[in-house]
Amino acid sequence: MSDLNLDEKDFTEEVLISDLPVLIDFWAEWCMPCQQIAPVIEELAEEYKGKVKIRKVNIDEAKELATVHEVMSIPNLIFFRDGKKVEQLAGSVSKETIKKAIEDKLLK
């Protein structure tokens, strides 16, 4: 398990009241596209360390978070700035697409 994993009890502190913008990857172990995008998420977490907080939420362990944030399909990336959702990307997306969303929605 990666140290990027986040659960329901830490969500408010880690995301909603975070000083940094946050990218959450909603995923599940049984989801093959989620497994394919996982290394990209890990790379981006290193690349944006100190600028953007990147976390992962397993929807099987945090069903309520998935429901509240209207995660209907996975992988599902939700971008938060100042505790508010500013972007959402569903499905298998490229590293370049994710980086563009980070730069445009979280760092401008």
At residue 1 the predicted structure's pLDDT band, cuts being 50, 70 and 90, is: very low
Report the CATH number at residue 14.
3.40.30.10
Give residue-wise pLDDT tens across range 27-78: 999 999 999 999 999 999 999 999 999 999 999 999 999 999 999 999 999 9
Q: Pick the catalytic residue from 22, 23, 24, 34.
A: 34
Residue 69 lies in a domain: yes
- Residue type at 42? E
Q: What percent of the chain has pLDDT over 70?
A: 98
* Count of domains observed in the chain: 1
Residue 59 lies in a domain: yes
At residue 3 the predicted structure's pLDDT band, cuts being 50, 70 and 90, is: confident
Our answer to whether residue 83 is catalytic in this structure is no
Q: Pick the catalytic residue from 23, 31, 40, 59.
A: 31
Residue 36 lies in a domain: yes
What are φ and ψ of residue 16, in 5° steps? -70, -30
Average of pLDDT values for 2-8? 84
Predicted TM-score of the model (pTM): 0.93
The whole domain housing 20 covers 8-106
Residue 2 lies in a domain: no
Residue 15 lies in a domain: yes
Residue 3 lies in a domain: no
Residue 14 lies in a domain: yes
Question: Which residues lie closer than 8 Å to 38 by C-beta, 6 or more apart?
Answer: 2, 25, 27, 56
Our answer to whether residue 60 is catalytic in this structure is no
Residue 89 lies in a domain: yes
